Amino acid sequence: MIEFGHFALCLAWLLALIGVVAGCLVGRRSHVALSHVEALRRVTIAVAISLGCALLGLGYSFVTNDYSIQYVWQYSNREMPWIYKITAIWGGMDGSMLLWCFLVAAYCAFVARASVKYPRPLLPFLYAFLNTSPLFFITVTLFFTNPFRYLRSALVMPDGNGLNPLLQNEYMAIHPPTLYLGFTGLAVPYAFCMAALASGHLSNDWIRLVRRWTLIAWTFLTAGVVLGGHWAYLELGWGGFWAWDPVENASLLPWLTATALLHSVMVQERKGMLKIWNISLVVLTYALTVFGTFLTRSGIVQSVHAFASTDIGWVFLAYLSGIILLAVVLVIYRRKELRPDRAIESFFSREAVFLLNNLVLLSICFAVLWGVMFPVFSEAFTGEKQTVGIPFFNAVNVPLFLSLVFLMGIGPTIAWKRSSLSHLLRAFTLPFLGGFLVAIALVWAGITEFYPVLSYSLCFFVLMTILGELQRGLSAQAGVTQSSTWSPSTAATLFRRQRIKYGAHIIHFGVLVMTVAITASMAHKIEREFTLGPGERFTVGRFSLELRNVREEEHANYGAVQAQVILRSLKDDSILETLRPELRFYPKNKETTTEVALRMGQREDVYLVLAGIDESGTRASLKLFINPLQVWLWYGAILMIIGGIVVAVPVPRQAMAKQREKERGLQSI
């Protein structure tokens, strides 16, 4: 089966190469024959099928415990449940690269499948650039990180090393694939952009397609980033979810530029402005996904994650330089066709606010990139390696994120082209007053730190602008359909008609919820360390914790020491929950890990970690975190993902036409 997998990988490489070369050759012709386009389309789909077979081949070796394969031996063993044998496919660098190849090729296949509706002059170059990403990543997999390698022939290993205990987690099944779906999806907008530049087919068609595919990738990337944070929160035992580590930052960078792109694309669609800007964002976003892969596989920066100090860094760097250089050359070549249709007329216009939003997002992106690369820069320029940590990222990004929240309230409400003073007053007076009153109320309630007060009041300001928009939309819709403003049918019709607009509002509302949760968990977090004997109590906030006992447990592949701690409400001494934090020892890997006990609540999370037990085995040392509103961070993320899906999923044209017809009928009565 492993031979089959390797053969499929080689075949995919050959097909991707054919796709790139043939796509460019066909694209250069003045007339594009339908048969050529169809052949290229099939080649693009075949690449994904071949890579699927390669992935299946590797998966089969894991499931059947084939420890003659080096990669399987390294990351699996017989005791692991079957689900971890599957997730171990991407548990190491070689397999994760293969998964990457498959996912990027799968995206390309989906685009190819849908491409029959796309403008024909765009197609040959589209297939060529779609196949570029799979070709590059298959090349890396095949020649540098091949998972289809045997151990020495004389060795028949009875069992494998096993996956590291920290990776034996259900999140391993979903977090890396989701994140990869986000990263790899960003190869599609890049392919559209480069195909448009290469073919000269620079009408607004390609930018609309870019928007849809960017949104799909963005939704996956959002889910992947948040899942990573949730995993870290549950698993690592330090009470937080984001540490500005290079791996986390690598996933955030393309998310920031993709978010900027999703806003600026609208300016080009509506007004024909920011054409070169959007191309730059598309290329930058794709380049940052490649940069992230380079960062995590080159070993150039220190991280809490173990990185490979491999020699494949230069391959990524060469590819990165290639894609940027090609884009620059093509933009210069097409500069006349990329002139904006008009200039931004007023600071008080939606296009100016969207540009501001882009600049804030890019500033955050630059700051994060600077923070990640600072050790490299400082060593190159001063000879001394220096680094920056969480204080740097917070100092720069907190004010920038808050200004982004402010713009989130302004952007969707302000008019295109130019907003009159009366419109501005009508739209923003009440929200400003609301935000101001919230700030006064918070100070009066004893919250006096600047950033939390600013954050909460800005969130309230934005919430009021969203509600104001909704109210205006419902009133207008009620006028058209002659129904009540607040009836569910009016809301449903409005939502169907302006799905993209209100989907975006759902995303914005999710961001607000997350912002409140992050502010609360940063500003009002409680941390305590204490030791308890059986029956002893510790009181904090509105809770008391009592140690019932400490006990030892034996499981299939680990042993555990567990503290049973009764969590009570101080108000009436009622038992809320029994928390069971653990220390686990995995004899096979000789690793000790902590298992957090967590009580998620709407007001706060009670997060308990067992630090150790004394020599008698009866007293437990514990670390407690009380994280206010933490659960709302995850709710906010879910809202963002739902909003992303609402905006990304296309509505059948027939349904839209039927709806419009119905409304026209009502108006004519």
151 binds another protein (CB under 8 A): yes
Nearest alpha-carbon partner for 245 in 185, 187, 189, 295:
295
Which range binds another protein by CB under 8 A, 143-151, 430-438, 448-456, 631-639?
Answer: 143-151
Nearest alpha-carbon partner for 84 in 163, 157, 161:
163
Closest approach of Cβ 516 to another protein, in Å? 24
309 binds another protein (CB under 8 A): yes
480 binds another protein (CB under 8 A): no
Residues 242-271 binding another protein (CB under 8 A) are 247
Rounded CA gap, 470 and 417, in Å? Answer: 22
Which range binds another protein by CB under 8 A, 44-52, 187-195, 356-364, 636-644?
Answer: 356-364
How many other CB atoms are found less than 10 A from the CB of residue 669? Answer: 5
One of 346, 475, 549, 602 touching another protein (CB under 8 A): 346
Nearest to another protein of 305, 496 (CB atom)? 305
Which range binds another protein by CB under 8 A, 4-12, 112-120, 511-519, 646-654?
Answer: 4-12
Helix (H) / strand (E) containing 646: helix 630-648
601 binds another protein (CB under 8 A): no
62 binds another protein (CB under 8 A): no
- Match 């009066």 to its residue by tokens: 444
- Which tokens sit at 90? 């991407």
Residues 362-381 binding another protein (CB under 8 A) are 362-363, 366-367, 370, 374-375, 378
Residues 156-175, one symbol each (x = binds another protein by CB under 8 A, - = not), give -x---x--x-xx--------
Which range binds another protein by CB under 8 A, 153-161, 189-197, 212-220, 493-501?
Answer: 153-161
Q: How many residues bind another protein (CB under 8 A)?
A: 92
- Which tokens sit at 24? 């460019």
One of 22, 266, 396, 598 touching another protein (CB under 8 A): 396
- Are the CB atoms for 224 and 175 separated by under 8 Å? yes
One of 49, 56, 308, 522 touching another protein (CB under 8 A): 308
614 binds another protein (CB under 8 A): yes
One of 260, 265, 323, 355 touching another protein (CB under 8 A): 355
395 binds another protein (CB under 8 A): yes
How many other CB atoms are found less than 10 A from the CB of residue 390? Answer: 13
Helix (H) / strand (E) containing 94: helix 93-114
Closest approach of Cβ 56 to another protein, in Å? 15
Rounded CA gap, 112 and 43, in Å? Answer: 9
- Which tokens sit at 462? 């934005």
One of 59, 134, 162, 176 touching another protein (CB under 8 A): 176
451 binds another protein (CB under 8 A): no
Cα–Cα separations (whole angstroms), residue 17 to 28, 130, 283, 334: 17, 11, 21, 26
Residues 83-122 binding another protein (CB under 8 A) are 90-96
Rounded CA gap, 588 and 598, in Å? Answer: 27
Closest approach of Cβ 142 to another protein, in Å? 9
One of 344, 442, 463, 639 touching another protein (CB under 8 A): 344
From the number of C-beta atoms within 10 Å of its C-beta (0-12, 13-18, 19+), residue 473 rates as buried
Nearest to another protein of 391, 665 (CB atom)? 391
347 binds another protein (CB under 8 A): yes
Closest approach of Cβ 578 to another protein, in Å? 22
- Which tokens sit at 295? 């960062």
One of 227, 609, 629, 646 touching another protein (CB under 8 A): 609
544 binds another protein (CB under 8 A): no
One of 81, 200, 322, 389 touching another protein (CB under 8 A): 389
Residues 268-297 binding another protein (CB under 8 A) are 296-297
Residues 616-645 binding another protein (CB under 8 A) are 619, 621, 623
Nearest to another protein of 70, 564 (CB atom)? 70
Q: What is the DSSP string of 495-559?
A: HHHTHHHHHHHHHHHHHHHHHHHHHHHHHS-EEEEEEE-TT-EEEETTEEEEEEEEEEEE-SS-E
One of 203, 204, 386, 420 touching another protein (CB under 8 A): 386
Nearest to another protein of 413, 593 (CB atom)? 593
One of 324, 388, 566, 645 touching another protein (CB under 8 A): 388
| φ, ψ at 645 (rounded to 5°) | -65, -45
Q: What is the DSSP string of 588-636?
A: TTTEEEEE-EEE--SSEEEEEEEEEE-TTS--EEEEEEEEETHHHHHHH
- Are the CB atoms for 590 and 559 separated by under 8 Å? no
Residues 177-206 binding another protein (CB under 8 A) are none
Nearest alpha-carbon partner for 215 in 174, 266, 249:
266
Rounded CA gap, 427 and 645, in Å? Answer: 28
Residues 495-534 binding another protein (CB under 8 A) are 529, 531
- Match 């009002």 to its residue by tokens: 524
302 binds another protein (CB under 8 A): yes
Q: What is the DSSP string of 246-284?
A: HHHHHHHHHHHHHHHHHHHHHHHHHHS--HHHHHHHHHH
Nearest to another protein of 196, 624 (CB atom)? 624
Report long-range pairs for 417-424 (Cβ below 8 Å, ≥24 apart): 417/271, 417/345, 417/346, 417/349, 417/350, 417/351, 418/345, 418/346, 418/348, 418/349, 419/346, 419/348, 419/349, 424/348
343 binds another protein (CB under 8 A): yes
Which range binds another protein by CB under 8 A, 209-217, 302-310, 434-442, 490-498?
Answer: 302-310
70 binds another protein (CB under 8 A): yes
Which range binds another protein by CB under 8 A, 25-33, 151-159, 467-475, 495-503?
Answer: 151-159
Nearest to another protein of 215, 579 (CB atom)? 579
Rounded CA gap, 291 and 280, in Å? Answer: 15
Q: What is the DSSP string of 112-150?
A: HHHGGGS-GGGHHHHHHHHHHHHHHHHHHHHHTS-S--B
Mapped to the 3 state alphabet, what secondary structure does 312-329 carry?
CHHHHHHHHHHHHHHHHH
Nearest to another protein of 438, 622 (CB atom)? 622
Mapped to the 3 state alphabet, what secondary structure does 432-443 carry?
HHHHHHHHHHHH
234 binds another protein (CB under 8 A): no
Nearest to another protein of 45, 163 (CB atom)? 163
One of 387, 487, 498, 564 touching another protein (CB under 8 A): 387
Nearest to another protein of 346, 448 (CB atom)? 346
One of 200, 322, 479, 612 touching another protein (CB under 8 A): 612
